[in-house]
Amino acid sequence: MLKRFLQELKMLAGKDALQKHYLVAVSGGADSMVTASLFHEAHLNFAVAHCNFHLRGTDSDRDMHFVQRMAEMWKVPFYVREFDTLGLQKNSGKSVEMLARELRYDWFNELLPDFDFLVTAHQSNDSAETTLLNLTRGTGLKGLCGIPPVNGKTLRPMLAFTAQEIRQYAESQHIEYVEDYTNHDEQITRNRIRHSVIPLLETINPQFLSTNARSRNVLQKQYAYFQKHIELDINRIVTKNDNQWHVSLALLNNNPDKELLLYEILTRFGFTADVSEKLSEGTAFQSGKQFFSDDYTLLIDRGFIIIQPKNKIENDIIDIDSLEKIHLFFDIKEFEYQKDMVFEKNPEILYIPKEKLTFPLQIRPWRHGDYFYPLGAKGRQKLSDFFSDHKIDRFTKEKIRLLCSGDQIIWVIGWRSDERYKVQKDHSLCYKIHIKENRNANN
């Protein structure tokens, strides 16, 4: 097994794989213990990382101490992170399994800068289970490929081996490991596939696992080829602006494969096939309509589908009680007004008489019912109407902040100042207030 393992590792990590520095995720089970043992046996440079999710009572602590003891025996660095998984899961809207996976990989990513690669112990049976699991839930070509051997800096060399091969190697080499009793709980869908569905399929084809592995290998190659070509069309249709993606409906509708393209675009952001089907059929193209995945929001807006991470903008009001505090958000310069002085027409700059900049001030989100007197316009206008006139989409409106004095709006930051606060000839001392280049008050 060691020879095959090193061959696989070189295929995934490159010819200099033996000189790389690896972070190996070890739960304490047979798969991860064999993986770590192979790294130790090959005298590779590696460290061990273990997550304790505290989901199995004393067994969770047992596993943690066991993995720590093995790392000390191998004389390699040991990293551990403990999570209050059930506490974090409350009100998260996520299953325990999904949250645990996110916590695990988020922590691994914190450690990764000190390593060349992360190695997980997924094996061939895991990939077959993933394929069947995806198939039962509904999937595309990617889902049928199972678990990828390489995903960024994550390597999975044990996909070349079956669970049976790993167990046999552990027994022959006297490699210790711990058993997780929850792996036998068939109320968990993956366990039901492992213990009931796959054995049933093996009554039809005794070589089901090896046949499935060959099929996945073909599908992975086909998917890689497919991705190279579809990426060209997606890049023509989708543009990225800061933290938003804009899908042109005009370009999408002119493409004969619009349904496929839309599916490929939306699944990258976690949207279900049901959402892409509704949009492809044109039954949901009402401007202002929104859809949500776990991490993203989709908005239909004036010829575009706009996608952005779910709004995490703080809605707190920022009180500003001094000129010094203004400097946290803006560059501010005092100047003396001179006759015929021409001001720069830049909505990111506020020109205001010094005497009208009275404290305390506030930076706050806009509210329905807010109004101001737009500079250069006649009379007052509701902010909602101002946004509509300027075709400002809902996502952008959520980010907009106001600089206020009491109940009056001085400046719709980055968009328009208020006529009541403009500089006039009878004002001598004034301020020029500019949004800092490295800090936008609307973010």
Flag the least confident range among 5-14, 84-93, 250-259: 84-93
Flag the least confident range among 196-210, 218-232, 283-297: 283-297
Q: How far apart are alpha carbons 50 and 67 in whole angstroms?
A: 7
How many other C-beta atoms lie within 10 A of the C-beta of residue 247? 22
* CATH among 3.40.630.30, 3.40.50.970, 3.40.50.620, 3.20.20.70 for 2-217: 3.40.50.620
| Band of pLDDT at residue 313, cut at 50, 70 and 90 | very low
Instruction: Tell me if 116 sits within 8 A of 21, measured CB to CB.
Output: yes
Domain extents in the chain = 2-217, 242-309, 318-435
| Band of pLDDT at residue 315, cut at 50, 70 and 90 | low
Flag the least confident range among 22-31, 67-76, 89-98, 259-268: 89-98
Question: What are the phi and psi torsion angles at 177 (to 5°)?
Answer: -160, 165
Q: Which pLDDT value is given to residue 274?
A: 85
Q: How far apart are alpha carbons 31 and 167 in whole angstroms?
A: 8
Largest CA distance in the chain: 93
Q: Which pLDDT value is given to residue 337?
A: 86
Q: How far apart are alpha carbons 246 and 395 in whole angstroms?
A: 12
How many other C-beta atoms lie within 10 A of the C-beta of residue 383? 23
Left if phi > 0, otherwise alpha if psi is -120 to 50, otherwise beta: which for 335? beta
Model pLDDT for residues 383-400, shown as the tens digit of each residue: 999 998 998 887 788 889
* Whether the model pTM is above 0.85: no
How many other C-beta atoms lie within 10 A of the C-beta of residue 382? 13
Instruction: Tell me if 278 sits within 8 A of 284, measured CB to CB.
Output: yes
Q: Which pLDDT value is given to residue 4?
A: 96
The 3 state secondary structure assigned to the chain is CHHHHHHHHHHHHCCCHHHCEEEEECCCCHHHHHHHHHHHHCCCEEEEEEEECCCCCHHHHHHHHHHHHHHHHHCCCEEEEECCHHHHHCCCCCCHHHHHHHHHHHHHHHHHHHCCEEECCCCHHHHHHHHHHHHHHCCCHHHHCCCCCEECCEECHHHHCCHHHHHHHHHHCCCCCCCCHHHHCCCCHHHHHHHHHHHHHHHHCCCHHHHHHHHHHHHHHHHHHHHHHHHHHHHHHEEEECCEEEEEHHHHHCCCCHHHHHHHHHHCCCCCHHHHHHHHCCCCCCCCCEEECCCEEEEEECCEEEEEECCCCCCCCEEECCHHHHCCCEEEEEEECCCCCCCCCCCCEEEEEHHHCCCCEEEEECCCCCEECECCCCCCEEHHHHHHHCCCCHHHHHHCEEEEECCEEEEECCCEEEHHHCCCCCCCEEEEEEECCCCCCCC
Distances (CA, A) of 291 to 37, 299, 300, 306, 411: 47, 7, 9, 10, 32
Q: Both tokens of residue 434?
A: 């500019």
Model pLDDT for residues 257-266, shown as the tens digit of each residue: 999 999 999 9
Q: What is the dihedral of CA 389, 391, 397, 403, to 10 degrees?
A: -40
Q: Which pLDDT value is given to residue 285?
A: 64
Q: Both tokens of residue 207?
A: 């070589």
Which residue reads 């972070």 in tokens? 23
Q: Which pLDDT value is given to residue 412?
A: 96
Model pLDDT for residues 331-377, shown as the tens digit of each residue: 999 998 887 788 888 999 999 999 999 999 999 999 888 999 999 89
* Mean pLDDT, rounded, for 8-28: 96
Q: Which pLDDT value is given to residue 426?
A: 65
Instruction: Tell me if 429 sits within 8 A of 338, measured CB to CB.
Output: no
Q: Is the peptide bond before 360 cis (omega within 30 degrees of 0)?
A: yes
Higher pLDDT, 340 or 161: 161
Q: Both tokens of residue 42?
A: 């090959």
Model pLDDT for residues 268-310, shown as the tens digit of each residue: 898 888 888 888 776 556 777 888 887 888 988 878 899 988 7
Instruction: Tell me if 373 sits within 8 A of 380, measured CB to CB.
Output: yes
Q: How far apart are alpha carbons 398 and 416 in whole angstroms?
A: 16
Q: Which pLDDT value is given to residue 262?
A: 93
Higher pLDDT, 44 or 94: 44
